[in-house]
Structure 1
Amino acid sequence: MSEVLCKKRDDYLEWPEYFMAVAFLSAQRSKDPNSQVGACIVNAENKIVGIGYNGMPNGCSDDLLPWRRTAENILDTKYPYVCHAELNAIMNKNSADVKGCSMYVALFPCNECAKLIIQAGIKEVIFMSDKYHNSTETTAARLLFEMAGVSFRCNDSGINN
Protein backbone atom coordinates (compact mmCIF):
# COMPACT_ATOMS: atom_id res chain seq x y z
CA MET A 1 0.00 0.00 0.00
CA SER A 2 1.14 3.48 -0.62
CA GLU A 3 2.07 5.62 2.37
CA VAL A 4 -0.69 8.13 1.58
CA LEU A 5 -3.41 5.47 1.99
CA CYS A 6 -1.97 4.24 5.29
CA LYS A 7 -1.53 7.57 7.05
CA LYS A 8 -4.27 8.56 9.45
CA ARG A 9 -5.98 11.91 9.33
CA ASP A 10 -4.32 14.53 11.52
CA ASP A 11 -6.98 17.24 11.45
CA TYR A 12 -9.51 15.48 13.70
CA LEU A 13 -11.03 17.01 16.84
CA GLU A 14 -9.16 16.46 20.08
CA TRP A 15 -11.28 15.18 22.98
CA PRO A 16 -11.79 18.59 24.67
CA GLU A 17 -12.96 20.20 21.42
CA TYR A 18 -15.24 17.24 20.70
CA PHE A 19 -16.91 17.37 24.12
CA MET A 20 -17.35 21.14 23.97
CA ALA A 21 -18.88 20.74 20.50
CA VAL A 22 -21.34 18.20 21.96
CA ALA A 23 -22.26 20.75 24.65
CA PHE A 24 -22.85 23.38 21.96
CA LEU A 25 -24.86 20.94 19.84
CA SER A 26 -27.10 20.06 22.79
CA ALA A 27 -27.64 23.79 23.40
CA GLN A 28 -29.38 23.91 20.03
CA ARG A 29 -32.27 21.95 21.62
CA SER A 30 -33.02 24.87 23.97
CA LYS A 31 -36.16 26.85 23.18
CA ASP A 32 -34.97 29.86 25.17
CA PRO A 33 -34.95 32.82 22.77
CA ASN A 34 -32.10 34.57 24.63
CA SER A 35 -29.75 31.95 26.08
CA GLN A 36 -28.93 28.55 24.66
CA VAL A 37 -26.61 26.63 26.97
CA GLY A 38 -25.57 22.99 26.76
CA ALA A 39 -23.57 20.71 29.04
CA CYS A 40 -21.75 17.42 28.48
CA ILE A 41 -20.50 15.16 31.30
CA VAL A 42 -17.56 12.89 30.51
CA ASN A 43 -15.93 10.13 32.55
CA ALA A 44 -12.23 9.25 32.85
CA GLU A 45 -12.49 6.93 29.83
CA ASN A 46 -13.65 9.82 27.58
CA LYS A 47 -17.17 8.42 27.46
CA ILE A 48 -20.15 10.77 27.55
CA VAL A 49 -22.32 9.94 30.56
CA GLY A 50 -24.74 12.89 30.53
CA ILE A 51 -25.98 15.66 28.27
CA GLY A 52 -28.34 18.54 28.99
CA TYR A 53 -29.52 21.94 27.87
CA ASN A 54 -31.50 24.75 29.47
CA GLY A 55 -35.26 24.35 29.30
CA MET A 56 -38.48 24.03 31.24
CA PRO A 57 -38.98 21.06 33.59
CA ASN A 58 -40.37 17.80 32.22
CA GLY A 59 -44.15 17.88 31.97
CA CYS A 60 -44.31 21.69 32.07
CA SER A 61 -45.37 23.27 28.79
CA ASP A 62 -42.75 25.59 27.38
CA ASP A 63 -45.58 27.20 25.43
CA LEU A 64 -47.39 28.25 28.62
CA LEU A 65 -44.46 29.37 30.77
CA PRO A 66 -42.75 32.73 30.13
CA TRP A 67 -39.42 33.12 28.33
CA ARG A 68 -38.91 36.84 29.01
CA ARG A 69 -35.94 38.10 31.02
CA THR A 70 -37.59 41.11 32.64
CA ALA A 71 -41.05 41.90 33.98
CA GLU A 72 -42.61 43.74 36.90
CA ASN A 73 -43.28 40.41 38.60
CA ILE A 74 -40.45 37.85 38.57
CA LEU A 75 -43.09 35.13 38.12
CA ASP A 76 -43.64 36.56 34.64
CA THR A 77 -39.99 35.83 33.72
CA LYS A 78 -38.25 32.57 32.89
CA TYR A 79 -36.01 32.58 35.98
CA PRO A 80 -38.24 30.79 38.51
CA TYR A 81 -38.95 28.00 36.02
CA VAL A 82 -36.01 27.19 33.73
CA CYS A 83 -33.74 24.24 34.50
CA HIS A 84 -30.13 24.99 33.64
CA ALA A 85 -28.09 22.78 31.33
CA GLU A 86 -25.89 21.55 34.19
CA LEU A 87 -28.90 20.32 36.18
CA ASN A 88 -30.35 18.56 33.15
CA ALA A 89 -27.03 16.91 32.28
CA ILE A 90 -26.73 15.55 35.83
CA MET A 91 -30.36 14.39 35.87
CA ASN A 92 -30.05 12.84 32.39
CA LYS A 93 -26.96 10.83 33.30
CA ASN A 94 -26.79 7.35 31.82
CA SER A 95 -24.50 5.84 34.47
CA ALA A 96 -24.83 5.05 38.17
CA ASP A 97 -23.12 8.27 39.15
CA VAL A 98 -20.96 11.06 37.77
CA LYS A 99 -18.43 11.10 40.60
CA GLY A 100 -14.98 12.08 39.35
CA CYS A 101 -16.28 13.15 35.94
CA SER A 102 -15.65 16.35 33.98
CA MET A 103 -18.35 18.70 32.75
CA TYR A 104 -18.03 20.69 29.52
CA VAL A 105 -20.38 23.65 29.48
CA ALA A 106 -20.81 26.66 27.22
CA LEU A 107 -21.20 29.15 30.08
CA PHE A 108 -19.51 29.26 33.49
CA PRO A 109 -22.00 27.81 36.01
CA CYS A 110 -24.06 29.87 38.44
CA ASN A 111 -23.91 29.24 42.19
CA GLU A 112 -26.98 26.97 42.14
CA CYS A 113 -25.45 24.77 39.44
CA ALA A 114 -22.10 24.84 41.27
CA LYS A 115 -23.82 23.30 44.29
CA LEU A 116 -25.33 20.55 42.12
CA ILE A 117 -21.97 19.89 40.43
CA ILE A 118 -20.23 19.60 43.80
CA GLN A 119 -22.92 17.35 45.28
CA ALA A 120 -22.80 15.10 42.20
CA GLY A 121 -19.04 14.61 42.69
CA ILE A 122 -17.97 16.19 39.40
CA LYS A 123 -14.32 17.19 39.79
CA GLU A 124 -13.66 19.42 36.77
CA VAL A 125 -15.62 22.08 34.88
CA ILE A 126 -14.46 23.23 31.45
CA PHE A 127 -16.33 26.26 30.15
CA MET A 128 -16.21 28.38 27.00
CA SER A 129 -17.59 31.72 28.20
CA ASP A 130 -17.48 33.54 31.53
CA LYS A 131 -19.50 36.55 30.42
CA TYR A 132 -21.06 36.94 33.88
CA HIS A 133 -17.67 36.77 35.64
CA ASN A 134 -18.37 39.70 37.97
CA SER A 135 -21.87 38.63 39.00
CA THR A 136 -22.55 37.52 42.57
CA GLU A 137 -23.73 34.12 41.27
CA THR A 138 -20.50 33.25 39.46
CA THR A 139 -18.35 34.76 42.21
CA ALA A 140 -20.10 32.46 44.68
CA ALA A 141 -19.71 29.53 42.26
CA ARG A 142 -15.93 30.06 42.03
CA LEU A 143 -15.66 30.23 45.83
CA LEU A 144 -17.67 27.01 46.21
CA PHE A 145 -15.60 25.22 43.55
CA GLU A 146 -12.34 26.29 45.20
CA MET A 147 -13.53 25.17 48.65
CA ALA A 148 -14.77 21.81 47.32
CA GLY A 149 -11.68 21.12 45.19
CA VAL A 150 -13.50 21.29 41.85
CA SER A 151 -11.11 22.57 39.20
CA PHE A 152 -12.38 24.89 36.50
CA ARG A 153 -10.82 26.30 33.37
CA CYS A 154 -11.70 28.12 30.22
CA ASN A 155 -11.55 25.86 27.17
CA ASP A 156 -10.14 28.44 24.76
CA SER A 157 -7.49 30.02 26.99
CA GLY A 158 -6.09 27.00 28.80
CA ILE A 159 -6.08 28.95 32.08
CA ASN A 160 -6.30 26.61 35.07
CA ASN A 161 -8.00 27.66 38.27
Structure 2
Amino acid sequence: MAIGKWDKRFIGLALHVAEWSKDPSTRVGAVIVDNKQRVISMGYNGPPRGVSDHYVTREDKLFKTIHAEENAVLFAKQDLTGATAYVTHPPCANCAAKLVQSGVTRVVFPAPSEDFLSRWKESYYAALGMFVEAGVAVETGE
Protein backbone atom coordinates (compact mmCIF):
# COMPACT_ATOMS: atom_id res chain seq x y z
CA MET A 1 0.00 0.00 0.00
CA ALA A 2 1.34 3.43 -0.92
CA ILE A 3 1.94 5.87 1.85
CA GLY A 4 -0.54 8.72 2.04
CA LYS A 5 -0.45 12.47 2.49
CA TRP A 6 -0.33 12.32 6.30
CA ASP A 7 2.35 9.63 6.20
CA LYS A 8 4.50 11.93 4.08
CA ARG A 9 3.91 14.80 6.51
CA PHE A 10 4.96 12.72 9.50
CA ILE A 11 8.03 11.38 7.69
CA GLY A 12 8.84 15.04 6.97
CA LEU A 13 8.48 15.83 10.66
CA ALA A 14 10.75 12.88 11.51
CA LEU A 15 13.33 14.27 9.06
CA HIS A 16 13.13 17.62 10.86
CA VAL A 17 13.57 15.94 14.26
CA ALA A 18 16.58 14.01 12.86
CA GLU A 19 18.34 17.36 12.33
CA TRP A 20 18.55 17.73 16.12
CA SER A 21 20.99 14.81 16.29
CA LYS A 22 24.65 15.79 16.65
CA ASP A 23 25.84 12.55 15.02
CA PRO A 24 28.01 13.69 12.10
CA SER A 25 27.48 10.52 10.04
CA THR A 26 23.89 9.38 10.61
CA ARG A 27 20.98 11.50 11.79
CA VAL A 28 17.80 9.56 12.50
CA GLY A 29 14.43 10.87 13.62
CA ALA A 30 11.27 9.13 14.81
CA VAL A 31 7.74 10.39 15.37
CA ILE A 32 5.00 8.31 17.01
CA VAL A 33 1.37 9.27 16.43
CA ASP A 34 -1.92 7.91 17.73
CA ASN A 35 -4.81 6.66 15.59
CA LYS A 36 -6.19 10.21 15.35
CA GLN A 37 -2.92 11.47 13.84
CA ARG A 38 -1.86 13.32 16.98
CA VAL A 39 1.84 13.32 17.83
CA ILE A 40 2.51 11.29 20.97
CA SER A 41 6.30 11.40 21.03
CA MET A 42 9.42 12.19 19.04
CA GLY A 43 13.05 11.16 19.27
CA TYR A 44 16.40 11.38 17.55
CA ASN A 45 19.62 9.41 17.88
CA GLY A 46 22.20 10.52 20.42
CA PRO A 47 23.88 9.75 23.73
CA PRO A 48 21.96 9.39 27.00
CA ARG A 49 21.27 12.54 28.99
CA GLY A 50 24.45 13.84 30.63
CA VAL A 51 26.78 11.72 28.46
CA SER A 52 29.22 13.43 26.10
CA ASP A 53 28.55 13.23 22.38
CA HIS A 54 32.28 13.27 21.61
CA TYR A 55 33.33 9.73 20.78
CA VAL A 56 36.83 8.28 20.59
CA THR A 57 35.92 5.47 18.19
CA ARG A 58 32.96 4.34 16.09
CA GLU A 59 32.49 1.41 18.50
CA ASP A 60 32.34 3.87 21.41
CA LYS A 61 29.60 5.78 19.56
CA LEU A 62 27.64 2.60 18.83
CA PHE A 63 27.76 1.52 22.49
CA LYS A 64 26.58 4.91 23.78
CA THR A 65 23.98 5.93 21.21
CA ILE A 66 20.28 5.66 21.93
CA HIS A 67 18.43 5.23 18.64
CA ALA A 68 15.66 7.60 17.60
CA GLU A 69 12.95 4.95 17.98
CA GLU A 70 14.18 4.11 21.49
CA ASN A 71 14.11 7.78 22.53
CA ALA A 72 10.60 8.19 21.11
CA VAL A 73 9.37 5.15 23.07
CA LEU A 74 11.19 6.22 26.25
CA PHE A 75 9.81 9.77 26.18
CA ALA A 76 6.20 8.81 25.37
CA LYS A 77 3.93 9.87 28.19
CA GLN A 78 1.04 7.61 27.20
CA ASP A 79 0.30 4.09 26.07
CA LEU A 80 1.51 3.43 22.52
CA THR A 81 -0.93 0.61 21.78
CA GLY A 82 -2.26 1.06 18.26
CA ALA A 83 0.17 3.87 17.41
CA THR A 84 2.14 4.41 14.20
CA ALA A 85 5.89 5.07 14.22
CA TYR A 86 7.45 7.14 11.44
CA VAL A 87 11.21 6.71 11.15
CA THR A 88 13.70 8.30 8.76
CA HIS A 89 15.65 5.02 8.40
CA PRO A 90 14.57 1.37 8.57
CA PRO A 91 14.53 0.26 12.24
CA CYS A 92 17.21 -2.15 13.46
CA ALA A 93 16.18 -5.40 15.17
CA ASN A 94 16.60 -3.96 18.68
CA CYS A 95 14.42 -0.96 17.90
CA ALA A 96 11.86 -3.18 16.16
CA ALA A 97 11.61 -5.26 19.34
CA LYS A 98 11.02 -2.12 21.41
CA LEU A 99 8.38 -0.82 19.00
CA VAL A 100 6.58 -4.18 19.05
CA GLN A 101 6.77 -4.42 22.84
CA SER A 102 5.44 -0.87 23.26
CA GLY A 103 2.28 -1.71 21.28
CA VAL A 104 3.03 0.13 18.03
CA THR A 105 0.97 -1.55 15.30
CA ARG A 106 2.27 0.25 12.20
CA VAL A 107 5.72 1.43 11.15
CA VAL A 108 6.46 3.68 8.17
CA PHE A 109 9.97 4.33 6.85
CA PRO A 110 11.79 4.85 3.53
CA ALA A 111 12.85 1.78 1.59
CA PRO A 112 16.40 0.79 2.55
CA SER A 113 19.21 1.85 0.26
CA GLU A 114 21.87 -0.57 -0.96
CA ASP A 115 24.37 1.22 1.29
CA PHE A 116 22.09 0.73 4.30
CA LEU A 117 21.64 -2.96 3.51
CA SER A 118 25.39 -3.43 3.09
CA ARG A 119 25.80 -2.50 6.77
CA TRP A 120 22.49 -3.46 8.42
CA LYS A 121 21.11 -6.31 6.28
CA GLU A 122 20.87 -8.96 9.03
CA SER A 123 19.34 -6.57 11.54
CA TYR A 124 16.92 -5.18 8.94
CA TYR A 125 15.60 -8.61 7.97
CA ALA A 126 15.37 -9.65 11.63
CA ALA A 127 13.33 -6.49 12.26
CA LEU A 128 11.00 -7.23 9.35
CA GLY A 129 10.54 -10.79 10.61
CA MET A 130 9.59 -9.54 14.07
CA PHE A 131 7.13 -7.04 12.63
CA VAL A 132 5.47 -9.75 10.52
CA GLU A 133 5.33 -12.24 13.39
CA ALA A 134 3.84 -9.63 15.75
CA GLY A 135 1.29 -8.40 13.20
CA VAL A 136 2.81 -4.93 12.87
CA ALA A 137 2.04 -3.34 9.50
CA VAL A 138 5.13 -2.12 7.67
CA GLU A 139 5.01 0.47 4.93
CA THR A 140 7.98 1.78 3.02
CA GLY A 141 7.93 4.86 0.88
CA GLU A 142 10.07 7.07 -1.27
Report the TM-score, using the length of structure 1 for normalisation: 0.78
Match of 2:28 in 1: 37
Q: Measured at CA, do residues 32 and 129 of structure 1 come closer, stay the same or move farther in structure 2, by a change above 3 Å?
A: farther
Q: Deviations over 1:99-148 (max 9, x none)?
A: 11000001010000010001000001000241334611111101111111
Match of 2:82 in 1: 100
| Unaligned residue ranges in structure 1 (runs of 5+) | 1-12, 157-161
Question: 1:79-158, aligned counterparts within 5 Å?
Answer: 79-94=62-77, 96-131=78-113, 132-133=116-117, 135-156=121-142
| Unaligned residue ranges in structure 2 (runs of 5+) | none
The code of the aligned residue for 1:36 comes to R
The code of the aligned residue for 2:61 comes to K
What is the root-mean-square deviation in Å for CA atoms of aligned residues? 1.7
Relative contact order higher in (CA < 8 Å, ≥ 6 apart): 2
Q: What's the CA shift for 1:61?
A: 1.8
- Percent of counterpart pairs with the same letter? 34
Report the TM-score, using the length of structure 2 for normalisation: 0.88
Distance between the aligned counterparts of 1:103 and 1:118, measured in 2?
A: 10
Which has a greater percent of helix?
2
Q: Deviations over 1:27-77 (max 9, x none)?
A: 0000000000000001001100010000001121213xx1743xxxx3xx3
Question: 1:12-31, aligned counterparts within 5 Å?
Answer: 14-31=5-22
Query: Which has more radius of gyration?
Result: 1
What SS is found at the alignment partner of 2:53? coil
Task: Give the total of aligned pairs.
Answer: 135
Q: Measured at CA, do residues 44 and 67 of structure 1 come closer, stay the same or move farther in structure 2, by a change above 3 Å?
A: farther
The code of the aligned residue for 2:82 comes to G
